[in-house]
Every structure is written in structure tokens, then in C-alpha cells.
Amino acid sequence: MEDEYSVCWQTVTNDLEKLLDNSDPDRAYRVMQELYKMKRIDIDTLRKVYEWENK
């Protein structure tokens, strides 16, 4: 999204706060590492990383 001053903004869902919650530091770290790779936020990919468990 671009405003009248040609500044680009990216909107995200409220899920992002949940995905980055530090109550599980390993999970938050995985999500953050995936987020760093993105030019545009792909919330579905972040959800998959969030749900992934080390089994």
C-alpha cells in the first residue's frame, strides 16, 4: 500500500503478535528468522513455521 507521499506501507494481521510471542523463545526465534528472509510478509508461511514442532 502506498500513501499520498509515495511511502510504502505493509499491513499485517493481528496474528503477527501471536506468532512472535516470547512465551516460547524457540518458536519465536524460528518465526523471526523466517521473517528476516522476506521482502513481503507471507503470513501463511509464518504460521507454518510457528506450528512446526521439533519431533
Question: What is the mean pLDDT of the segment spanning 32-50?
Answer: 93
Question: pLDDT grade, residue 55 (50/70/90)?
Answer: very low
Whether pTM exceeds 0.75:
no
Share of the chain above pLDDT 90, in %: 49
Where does 1-55 have alpha helices with state H? 15-19, 25-36, 43-51
Supply the mean pLDDT for the chain. 88
> Three-state SS for 11?
coil
